[in-house]
Structure 1
């Protein structure tokens, strides 16, 4: 699918395929004027050492930022460089970064599909040096594409890559978000027109291309082909059915199934081997992060050597000393081939039965911050895939063998460069279908170069699109669903099928039954995808089973009602269209008119932090009865309507009486309805300072914490538009601070910075005032005794840049002993705990300050003379164990913290959170948040 309309009149001369691999990238092309045409590989000039440029068949997918000395010397210059580049990608980046991991970015492709962080934020390198510029996963991917673009321009200066037919590959299991981000990276690299193809299909196209004259002799109708594509970051399984063609004696290929997305590949093997070596060096302890990072890179070389062709019996790993000041302190450790095979072959390709299933526990791999697959056993995932799709796409289900058995296997990805790994997987696969000890094994299709196959196949696919070569007919291989009202089905969530997995690209589906659609107010469409339920018919209503259906980012929107803009309900039908790459396009059509609304996937909720990730049962709390809602509405009207006879100070009592419950027991659904009522009567807040203070206080309380309920992002945006810089009474300033603190989790990074800037100026002025610095005339005055809400608001803004948090925390540490600030010391301590917390309340992990900084702050808090009741909670936040060595304080310091907590009589659970980790209880969550949370919402 071209991302932009192609308005050119001349067909491009070249068709180009790019494999964007986790570990290596490659480029292949076809000159369409050559007769006969053939797929060729483009060598990629790149830095292989400082000042040394050489061509290579592949571009290692590594990004390195040079030191100032390297950059100033021009060590990273390329033939097309302007000035003195500070960054490099490719072989030198990989090799130099192995020794300087704080300057290296690896596995950017895996980060593109990591829903736990802001994938458009500058967060890589994940644990980088202080002077390294952070980049987003999209930026890094764009850097690889830009390098390949420049290589192409040098080789073909008259044919810009942006004007050729360009095909980029991506994992079959990439979701819509990761696909959109891949396209965004291409646009950032000035490649606006791209087509996408799934990597397993590209690998199969490469095999067809390599065997142009003989492939028909190796396949026959009725066969099932399994493509096992395991690279550095992901494992992809794909099934292709061979069917008879309408042309006599010919066959067609139909892609009928793809597996679930698994972040499980060569990177996991590197981590596992590094852990094994770490235990040899440190026993049950952990190496410091800087040594661990080097060890992981060294483990990759050990893996490739010991599992490669003609491996040695022993590989020696060299690890630098913990301190750069120590000379001769490097450590060496020997790793035998049998040890490597035990850890990697038995660990990742265990001999299992076909009925074995992966475990669903939390992955132990946390060191790179990536959500690795929960079970390392790739063979268990493969067994599940084959059994799930035992008869998927089978036109002749009666066979003399288990229909789950594939007839042909095609291995792809760098994982299978190791003959040991390839042979083990083939052994396990054969064992599943060996009836009566018969020696059966599948036909294995061969690739000359695994590292180039996907790029070559992508270029071949570009020719298929032009009507040449042999194509694969790809069904969607996923079924899509939209959540619907579950009234009449108890508490079970229900969904209606939008498009079945058997659908082909380009098909359209319209749900036959009309749905009630609300206009002019926020609505949400929950979306689900399944790679196992492939036969549900469009319009079929099913129960949402979390084992079978995976939630996608929901569509959250407000549908325009036209000029009248009044809330109304219409009968509408959902229409689904499948694009060529398998992405879903949804629209809603009015059943009684020609009006239609395009429904966009909410990519923002998973790529940005505007909508924070959360666990919530708020929607399931039930709906308050209409009579209670009406009583609340009347109470709010009596305060904020003109002529109202209820004082603002009496409103909360009236609401408590109307609901029959104290305010901390009000369900989220009622709170959000109260927010809507307040917005309807918003002009009434201007009547007096008391009216505005009550309105702000209740609005913030009703919308806290700014996320957790459907369409909260819209509510926060409306609140921002209504309140920001629009206070009617100066006396309401303190209540506005409380409002923003309460809903901070729903504010975007930009909004948080906007709020913070004047407050930071004020706190800097306060800091200078108490530490002897020169006061700034531009800083707003701040009363030390009234600054509690300023501190608490700043502590709640988790999306502030890490340097800002570090500066703010440092100021608090210096101000804590000041006697004049005793009235707000508790607030400053609370803020310090939020600034240095090891587990964020709502922000992504890349917003955390370094562990070294939190370690200094926790020592300061423990040395305070004052008896502050909140100190134990703050100490726990700063020293809490997470299992991630880059976030955790050193074990010796956590031991000291635990002992301090016990001496001060802290709760046992606080001690446990520091010693072994865990989750906060209800009271702790309220303390960390700053007040009670709505029922049903959980924090990290």
Structure 2
């Protein structure tokens, strides 16, 4: 399964001399290649030059997947002159790049000392559907002075280093002119696949193919057994590829079939792929670190380590894991964490762990002996330290039992009595499976599950001597297979794709069947759909690796146990006036690229016009995870007659022949709907917003019209997310209004601030920055001042921009606290308290967790408020926001500050729920959410967390 991105001119040229395989791993990258000019071609390993220490460069077979921002002292020590990078250094790097950052061994090791300056697990983030994977937020919980980058950009950095190293070694055959095969987990979703291609393009690679890692691992085995592989397998056998790396667990089944009726040759058919599991070596490191933490607390009672100590403890745990899973291990291992700062030896942490404790944590915790009928837990994982959605159940063997129960008969016809329904052969891949004890535990589990009474059986393990290089070697071998040389694995899609077309009951159309092959196109026209031209439309997308018999166009019930949600696909055409709207009968056409990514189109059934449907990646943000369940839409539906009456009322206020005063429109709408505006359901208010947008020019009639238009439009679009295609609506508001007020009146400025605050959750980080820039300039300037009658909304708006960077939030919070102490700001104090709570909140209302203000700053703000002891009734809620317990050591205040906050709240006779939120954590009730948001929230929509 592959995809090629090249121009037609490239295609017309002769094939390049080299083919290159790149393992873009969670923990390590590797690069192998074939010189196709050699008649007896072999797969060779490219040794990658990299910094291994300050001022020291070596060539290694792997490149650790870490990016590190050097400290000023390290940068000065590594390069002392303008030409250092060219004299014995990484010759392809500019001096500026060499001075600022690095990837590889030095990045990994220096990052263990300064974890806030290091990016790791970028590949896991690339597959995280709960964040905007194109946004700059890594390193997670990084130091304030470290530039952030996206998972895509971090992945591109590793690929760029490989490209530079290759070009330096082969200047006559640059990598961007060679065929490059990049590996990725078989379970990567469509967005992660597309973003991998995007990272390759950012690194300057043009001729790129993708292959799934388990297939690459099997290709590597074939390559290593070119002379005897036909003696090791036979038709009917089932091969399990178990791939457990630093970040993911990938399970694949390959069935061995005869090449033909009269042929002794065999073919390999990939018949099943497991669910995407963020479960691997990183989780095991966390488990060992948690074991060490628990022993430390039990032995010394010192309490949990600081966030920075914890980072170093996790790094030390990796060494413990690797040493204690080695056959030659000792009885104990001492985990050592160096002291912080000036504490020297007195601040060091040492914990002795025994072999039995490690076995209980790693073998019994991740590879327990379970029954074939056991199933993994679906509850939330306890491993949330780094913000990644780790698999809910860490027991790999339970996931394996579920996978084999569902798929071990995949690819067997009813007439087929020869094919096995148990894995005869097992191929291990990934760094975790370098440990013999783990491999043996899996083999023992398979024997326990499938050994028949009276039989002595266990699966045969296919030997793969270099697990760290196998995937890159297999990728290079596959590149030769694409040229007609070598043994090919036949692989159909192994996943079925569906588009949700109704919510109650939830049902979906099958768009691409599980037996699809690369290059096929499909048309689902058995159930015509209706597309309203001129309006945004969105369809949630689902994928299943178990429902492989569904056919294209089949309408099926959605079962979350059998299907997984993907980002929805959406389109939005320019909407004209309502009388120009039309509704068309459409069908969905879809196509499968060579890597299994999908392309979808709405097609006018009568005229053939096509509209491209794009993945709505932003809908997968933390704030908008409900798109598939339709939580906003489920808030209630208003009948069409009432909706039309509301449309007429809005037209009579903002239309060409308006005869209703703008200050009367809300009461008129409440009268029509027979309900107060806070009770209008999301479906209605989004319709009202669209009617307001249709009559946007009506705000230009008078200042009063503009003020009322801004107020009502913002109210109807609040909180900027929660209903399908809200991101499109917010973009329309930005296009119509940013910097485009019709009247300079104070009322228009104030209402525009209210409007932006209400929909801030739907604004991008760049848009929030544009809004904040002039506001920050005003606060920093001694000569510029905020008009008193606008100051409340000024502060509420700037504090609601949760996607601002941490340094800006700290600056704003410090200014707010300073202004709070000025006597002239008595009337402004409630707004300043509200702003301080939003800026320093431990649980953002909608923003990404990586922009949370550091815990020491939140603690200082709590201490300052307690010391001031202001009389305002809003103080307790602000302290709750600043100190609410989350269970995340990077965000939670220390116990002494927590106790002072609890004592203060009790002295203020605060609600018991406030005390509970500080002490134990939990969720805000609806009134508390309203207070934090600054407005009532639409029915059915909650704050992000």
* TM-score under structure 1 length normalisation: 0.95
Aligned to 2:513: 500
Aligned partners of 2:627 and 2:724 also within 8 Å: no
Aligned partners of 1:524 and 1:557 also within 8 Å: yes
Q: Tell me, yes or no, if structure 1 residue 457 matches structure 2 residue 474.
A: yes
Aligned partners of 1:118 and 1:844 also within 8 Å: no
Q: Tell me, yes or no, if structure 1 residue 252 matches structure 2 residue 267.
A: yes
Aligned to 1:313: 331
Instruction: State the Cα distance separating 1:139 from its structure 2 match.
Output: 1.9
Structure 1's 47 and 612: CA in aligned 2 closer, same or farther, altered over 3 A?
farther
Aligned partners of 1:121 and 1:608 also within 8 Å: no
Structure 1's 600 and 614: CA in aligned 2 closer, same or farther, altered over 3 A?
closer
Aligned partners of 1:611 and 1:746 also within 8 Å: no
Structure 1's 45 and 565: CA in aligned 2 closer, same or farther, altered over 3 A?
farther
Structure 1's 841 and 734: CA in aligned 2 closer, same or farther, altered over 3 A?
same
Aligned partners of 1:615 and 1:938 also within 8 Å: no
CA distance in 2, matches of 1:524, 1:64: 40
Instruction: State the Cα distance separating 1:400 from its structure 2 match.
Output: 8.9
Q: What per-residue deviation string (whole Å, max 9, x for no partner) do you get for residues 826-884 of structure 1?
A: 01110110000111111111221111111111112222332111111111111111111
Aligned partners of 1:119 and 1:608 also within 8 Å: no
CA distance in 1, matches of 2:577, 2:741: 29
Aligned to 1:82: 94
1:237 to 251, 257, 260: 251
Aligned partners of 1:257 and 1:389 also within 8 Å: yes
Aligned partners of 1:29 and 1:41 also within 8 Å: yes
Q: Secondary structure at the match of 2:468?
A: helix
Instruction: State the Cα distance separating 1:397 from its structure 2 match.
Output: 6.7
CA distance in 1, matches of 2:218, 2:111: 34
Aligned to 2:763: 747
Structure 1's 841 and 397: CA in aligned 2 closer, same or farther, altered over 3 A?
farther
Q: Tell me, yes or no, if structure 1 residue 583 matches structure 2 residue 594.
A: no
CA distance in 1, matches of 2:515, 2:902: 57
Structure 1's 607 and 519: CA in aligned 2 closer, same or farther, altered over 3 A?
same
Q: Secondary structure at the match of 2:316?
A: helix
Aligned to 1:64: 68
CA distance in 1, matches of 2:579, 2:542: 30
Aligned to 1:666: 680
Aligned to 1:625: 639
Aligned to 2:388: 370
Aligned pair count reads 923
Aligned partners of 1:386 and 1:404 also within 8 Å: no
Instruction: State the Cα distance separating 1:797 from its structure 2 match.
Output: 0.8
Aligned partners of 1:858 and 1:875 also within 8 Å: yes
Aligned partners of 1:115 and 1:607 also within 8 Å: yes
Structure 2: runs of 5 or more not aligned? none
Instruction: State the Cα distance separating 1:278 from its structure 2 match.
Output: 0.8
**Alignment of structure 1 residues 267-416 onto 2, 5 Å:** 267-283=282-298, 285-395=303-413, 404-416=421-433
2:524 to 511, 531, 541: 511
CA distance in 2, matches of 1:623, 1:329: 61
Instruction: State the Cα distance separating 1:136 from its structure 2 match.
Output: 2.0
CA distance in 2, matches of 1:869, 1:145: 55
Q: Tell me, yes or no, if structure 1 residue 262 matches structure 2 residue 277.
A: yes
Aligned to 1:772: none
Q: What per-residue deviation string (whole Å, max 9, x for no partner) do you get for residues 41-73 of structure 1?
A: 111122222222122111111222222122123
Q: Secondary structure at the match of 1:589?
A: strand
Instruction: State the Cα distance separating 1:398 from its structure 2 match.
Output: 6.1
Q: Tell me, yes or no, if structure 1 residue 536 matches structure 2 residue 553.
A: no
**Alignment of structure 1 residues 850-889 onto 2, 5 Å:** 850-889=854-893
Aligned to 1:3: 5
Structure 1's 633 and 518: CA in aligned 2 closer, same or farther, altered over 3 A?
closer
Instruction: State the Cα distance separating 1:727 from its structure 2 match.
Output: 2.0
Q: Tell me, yes or no, if structure 1 residue 726 matches structure 2 residue 740.
A: yes
Instruction: State the Cα distance separating 1:106 from its structure 2 match.
Output: 1.6
Q: What per-residue deviation string (whole Å, max 9, x for no partner) do you get for residues 358-393 of structure 1?
A: 111111112112111111101000111111113221
Q: Secondary structure at the match of 2:889?
A: coil
Structure 1's 192 and 566: CA in aligned 2 closer, same or farther, altered over 3 A?
farther
Aligned partners of 1:610 and 1:747 also within 8 Å: no
Structure 1's 842 and 397: CA in aligned 2 closer, same or farther, altered over 3 A?
farther
Q: Secondary structure at the match of 1:249?
A: strand
1:473 to 467, 478, 490: 490
Range 70-79 or range 234-243, more displaced: 70-79
CA distance in 1, matches of 2:810, 2:6: 43
**Alignment of structure 1 residues 94-105 onto 2, 5 Å:** 94-105=108-119
Aligned to 1:425: 442
Q: Tell me, yes or no, if structure 1 residue 929 matches structure 2 residue 942.
A: no
Instruction: State the Cα distance separating 1:294 from its structure 2 match.
Output: 0.8
CA distance in 1, matches of 2:210, 2:245: 18
Instruction: State the Cα distance separating 1:813 from its structure 2 match.
Output: 1.0
CA distance in 2, matches of 1:60, 1:640: 61
**Alignment of structure 1 residues 698-847 onto 2, 5 Å:** 698-731=712-745, 732-765=748-781, 775-776=782-783, 779=784, 781-784=785-788, 786-847=790-851
Aligned partners of 1:257 and 1:477 also within 8 Å: yes
Range 415-424 or range 87-96, more displaced: 87-96
Q: Tell me, yes or no, if structure 1 residue 446 matches structure 2 residue 453.
A: no
Aligned partners of 2:800 and 2:838 also within 8 Å: yes
Q: What per-residue deviation string (whole Å, max 9, x for no partner) do you get for residues 10-47 of structure 1?
A: 21000100001111111100111111111111111222
Aligned partners of 2:571 and 2:611 also within 8 Å: no
Structure 1's 192 and 898: CA in aligned 2 closer, same or farther, altered over 3 A?
farther
Instruction: State the Cα distance separating 1:460 from its structure 2 match.
Output: 0.5
Structure 1's 857 and 607: CA in aligned 2 closer, same or farther, altered over 3 A?
same
Instruction: State the Cα distance separating 1:282 from its structure 2 match.
Output: 2.0
Q: Tell me, yes or no, if structure 1 residue 155 matches structure 2 residue 169.
A: yes
Aligned to 2:691: 677
Range 338-347 or range 648-657, more displaced: 648-657
Aligned to 1:768: none
Q: Secondary structure at the match of 1:70?
A: helix
Aligned partners of 2:144 and 2:807 also within 8 Å: no
Q: Secondary structure at the match of 1:451?
A: coil
Aligned partners of 2:576 and 2:694 also within 8 Å: no
* TM-score under structure 2 length normalisation: 0.94
Aligned to 1:694: 708
CA distance in 2, matches of 1:565, 1:597: 22
Aligned partners of 1:639 and 1:647 also within 8 Å: yes
CA distance in 2, matches of 1:548, 1:882: 31
After TM superposition, which residue ranges in structure 1, 4 or more long, deviate above 6 angstroms? 560-565, 607-615
Range 198-207 or range 681-690, more displaced: 681-690
Structure 1's 898 and 865: CA in aligned 2 closer, same or farther, altered over 3 A?
closer
Q: What per-residue deviation string (whole Å, max 9, x for no partner) do you get for residues 757-777 of structure 1?
A: 222222334xxxxxxxxx24x
CA distance in 2, matches of 1:536, 1:613: 24
**Alignment of structure 1 residues 95-134 onto 2, 5 Å:** 95-134=109-148
Q: Secondary structure at the match of 1:250?
A: strand
Instruction: State the Cα distance separating 1:615 from its structure 2 match.
Output: 8.0
Q: Secondary structure at the match of 1:937?
A: coil
CA distance in 1, matches of 2:733, 2:754: 13
Structure 1: runs of 5 or more not aligned? 766-774
Instruction: State the Cα distance separating 1:524 from its structure 2 match.
Output: 1.0
Instruction: State the Cα distance separating 1:559 from its structure 2 match.
Output: 4.0
CA distance in 1, matches of 2:63, 2:742: 60
CA distance in 2, matches of 1:541, 1:419: 47
Instruction: State the Cα distance separating 1:609 from its structure 2 match.
Output: 8.7
Instruction: State the Cα distance separating 1:630 from its structure 2 match.
Output: 2.4
Structure 1's 89 and 834: CA in aligned 2 closer, same or farther, altered over 3 A?
same
CA distance in 1, matches of 2:789, 2:598: 56
Instruction: State the Cα distance separating 1:495 from its structure 2 match.
Output: 0.3
Q: Secondary structure at the match of 1:59?
A: strand
Instruction: State the Cα distance separating 1:352 from its structure 2 match.
Output: 0.3
Structure 1's 853 and 891: CA in aligned 2 closer, same or farther, altered over 3 A?
same
CA distance in 2, matches of 1:667, 1:156: 63
CA distance in 2, matches of 1:400, 1:211: 25
Instruction: State the Cα distance separating 1:810 from its structure 2 match.
Output: 0.6
Structure 1's 648 and 192: CA in aligned 2 closer, same or farther, altered over 3 A?
same
Aligned partners of 2:128 and 2:388 also within 8 Å: yes
